[in-house]
Structure 1
């Protein structure tokens, strides 16, 4: 009777897990479009609620007081943080929350080690737990460094460590060696702490040499790491929902990492080995970065005239738009232009901003019609018949050196060909280089006029001038 009852209870819990990861998959499928993304998030959230309930139904689920405290503390921190974060800070929030996931998995692995009194010789449990501890810890500490770079708590330029690659290999060998000793019967807790310490140092040294321009790739890579560590922990815990959710995150993060690297025409190893995104190139090139070219400045009134009499305008958003929170002002300007019969499109580079899809999120928040958002491959053929390209703080993804200067660090990276437009207006605060630390000769192109100032203020002024025409 007891066996039958346990079997029925387990079957019911597994059925709940099936419902949970079905909701995960349905929710994920809907976040591919801004039109359904909010609904997709909610559906996935419902799936997580079902998964949590199913986990609590397991006999001996744990200390209910500690579980309640954890839920209360997490909710008290998570909800206000997510609600209050500015869109400009969303990349570092994503990095931070992703790191918390990896850290949680590493702690779960440690707790399970203690639960088994250090006996992880059962390999179907021991190997996944060791893997989860290493990868989860690397993800946690690496995500913290990514957060610090994006938050500008430390410099965005690569921080080189002498012999860094070899040191990282030694750290990985040290972590794996501790894991092997545990799997072969050594149950000293110091060995598991050694795994966490070696992995922690590795996570820091893994991200420090990577420049700010590569942060979108790093974030998606660390996201994949967290997913894989969660899946491994799920295997050790025999938790179906954790396995499926972890594999979904790991697979999607891996695919996204590959897409980001291809968008920069770089291999994933070249990104992860670091070095791109420093300030040396900019320092060598000088303040304009274009061998003494002449900068032409313009005013909001002149820019408005150019835009009003154009047939097609392509807006190229970058991190400058995010910093000034100009997306709503940009949307208002586009409406005014459309009322004047101007066709407006938005050119989206895959790595514009500080995280994958950063510009899409901002423009969707401002209710820009989805069919106006054009990906790089689709819009590049349009620039030749574009009257005005309006570049809002997008430095590196519009840099012609990627096509024409073999010694440039970004040579070969696909860019938005804004220099093929009849004219270009660039909105920037100053002539400083982009996050990659590389100057942009587009700024001194005879076709280009620079409108200096805060992007939101400049766009608002242009919109006002358009209304006066």
Structure 2
């Protein structure tokens, strides 16, 4: 078998593994296996790239040893850093890690495009245009993802906005197009090098400027959007260098990211144009209506005992559960309820947390069976027949004002129908508002009680209350 044939077969195998792996990621039950398959596909691609060295003609082997050394160093650094951070990252920092890794993908795509621009004197016009597109999209994804990481990690505070923000972004975009046209027109020489540098600076700047105004509540949409950008950039690079695996992987990731962006935007009642061309996340809370009623605190033990004797309990988790790292304690509490004959389900809102699928990942880490997890559309009708709904660290996604209060900035956003349960308990650290900065009418409802405290501590008290109840029963029977 020739080296070239082996490389082509390896690419075919890798493409199949990537597509099939992504298909298996569509279900929590098979997602782990899908990730492994996709990883094997990437390994096949890397090995094939090393086999490609054997097919390099003697005339092109100048400096090959240095390139091999640099490739080995790059692989060692990448594998080492990924393995170290992957094992150490806390579940609360998972969104930051996803944003950062996605940015690295965009940066790699931009680097490939830059290398093609440096040696692209023999490229045709179409290849120049596609290379510039891949370079710009990859650079925007890199810088935008880094800003998203900084926001999620608390290194950047409130959204940064200036008067005429759109005009500023539009000016940078116009400069990006102008520098790209200049590169396309010159294609070589010192002038082209200067224009290429300005082109990349403008692309990186546009990613920063486009992401700085975005509020933290919209980060699931941002992460998904830049994921789509990275996939598109990789696919364009695959076309430029004639690599089918990159084209397939890029198109699959780009299309999946685009569909996910649409789903995230719909889940927040936003149009795609609003996501792309306005300061989505800029919320005017002054227009929200007045909420009547009062907050009614409850003890953790009382809430636990009420759930122990309920017939059906639905749990709506949110970012507060992740922040408290209380998923293990929650599942311990759930198992106690199930042992007592209580039907327990989890209601998962698409944008609960800080990234797409955050709650699914969080509960999977605790070992919660996948068949207990239900999406919004699957479970919303069941709240009316539910004895008790338990909300843990969720706010905006359970706010009934989204249904009725037209002056509310979250009006029209699909929410979990928690307020329709017979009784509601909300575990919340304090009386603060959610990420959207909107007061939650649910907390003031007649059938809602607030259990204040860190979710880890509150759930520990609930577990202890149920256990104490079980220990007391045999003693009463003996007496």
Give yes or no for TM over 0.5.
yes
Contact 1:276-1:409 at 8 Å conserved across structures: no
Cα deviation, residue 33, structure 1: 2.2
- Verify: 1:28 aligned to 2:22, yes or no: yes
Instruction: Tell me whether 8-17 or 401-410 shows the greater mean CA deviation.
Output: 8-17
User: Normalising by structure 2, what TM-score?
Assistant: 0.92
Residues 95-136 of structure 1 deviation map (CA, whole Å, 9 limit, x = unaligned): 0010011112112211221123xx376123211210111000
Q: Secondary structure at the match of 2:436?
A: coil
Q: Secondary structure at the match of 1:424?
A: strand
Instruction: Tell me whether 178-187 or 387-396 shows the greater mean CA deviation.
Output: 178-187
Match of 1:219 among 209, 220, 223: 223
Cα deviation, residue 169, structure 1: 2.1
Cα deviation, residue 250, structure 1: 0.4
Match of 1:153 among 152, 155, 163: 155
Cα deviation, residue 180, structure 1: 1.8
Cα deviation, residue 279, structure 1: 6.9
Contact 2:287-2:408 at 8 Å conserved across structures: no
Q: Distance in 1 between matches of 2:48 and 2:143?
A: 30
Counterparts in 2 of 1:72 and 1:169: CA distance versus 1, 3 Å:
same
Contact 2:283-2:409 at 8 Å conserved across structures: no
Contact 1:216-1:351 at 8 Å conserved across structures: yes
Match of 1:254 among 253, 258, 279: 258
Cα deviation, residue 387, structure 1: 0.9
Contact 1:390-1:424 at 8 Å conserved across structures: yes
Contact 1:174-1:198 at 8 Å conserved across structures: yes
Q: Distance in 2 between matches of 1:279 and 1:411?
A: 12
Instruction: Tell me whether 53-62 or 136-145 shows the greater mean CA deviation.
Output: 53-62
Match of 1:234 among 213, 235, 238: 238
Aligned to 1:297: 297
Instruction: Tell me whether 309-318 or 100-109 shows the greater mean CA deviation.
Output: 100-109
Aligned to 1:174: 175
Residues 24-83 of structure 1 deviation map (CA, whole Å, 9 limit, x = unaligned): 111111112222222111111111011111122224495101001101111221110111
Match of 1:11 among 5, 27, 31: 5
Aligned to 2:43: 49
Describe how 1:190-209 pairs up with structure 2 within 5 A: 190-209=194-213
Q: Distance in 1 between matches of 2:325 and 2:391?
A: 15
Q: Which segments of 5 or more consecutive residues in structure 1 lack a partner in the other structure?
A: none
Contact 2:287-2:407 at 8 Å conserved across structures: no
Aligned to 2:186: 185
Q: Distance in 2 between matches of 1:139 and 1:235?
A: 19
- Verify: 1:104 aligned to 2:108, yes or no: yes
Cα deviation, residue 85, structure 1: 0.3
Q: Distance in 1 between matches of 2:87 and 2:185?
A: 47
Q: Which segments of 5 or more consecutive residues in structure 2 lack a partner in the other structure?
A: 470-479
CA RMSD of the aligned region, Å?
A: 1.7
Q: Secondary structure at the match of 2:186?
A: coil
Aligned to 1:449: 449
Q: Secondary structure at the match of 1:184?
A: helix
Residues 208-260 of structure 1 deviation map (CA, whole Å, 9 limit, x = unaligned): 11111111011000000001001111111111111111111101100100111
Describe how 1:262-411 pairs up with structure 2 within 5 A: 262-277=266-281, 281=285, 291=291, 293-411=293-411
Cα deviation, residue 375, structure 1: 0.6
Counterparts in 2 of 1:159 and 1:388: CA distance versus 1, 3 Å:
same
Contact 1:290-1:441 at 8 Å conserved across structures: no
Describe how 1:55-134 pairs up with structure 2 within 5 A: 55-58=49-52, 59-60=55-56, 63-116=67-120, 119=121, 122-134=124-136
User: Normalising by structure 1, what TM-score?
Assistant: 0.94
Instruction: Tell me whether 436-445 or 411-420 shows the greater mean CA deviation.
Output: 436-445
Contact 2:317-2:394 at 8 Å conserved across structures: yes
Q: Distance in 1 between matches of 2:37 and 2:228?
A: 21
Contact 1:121-1:185 at 8 Å conserved across structures: no
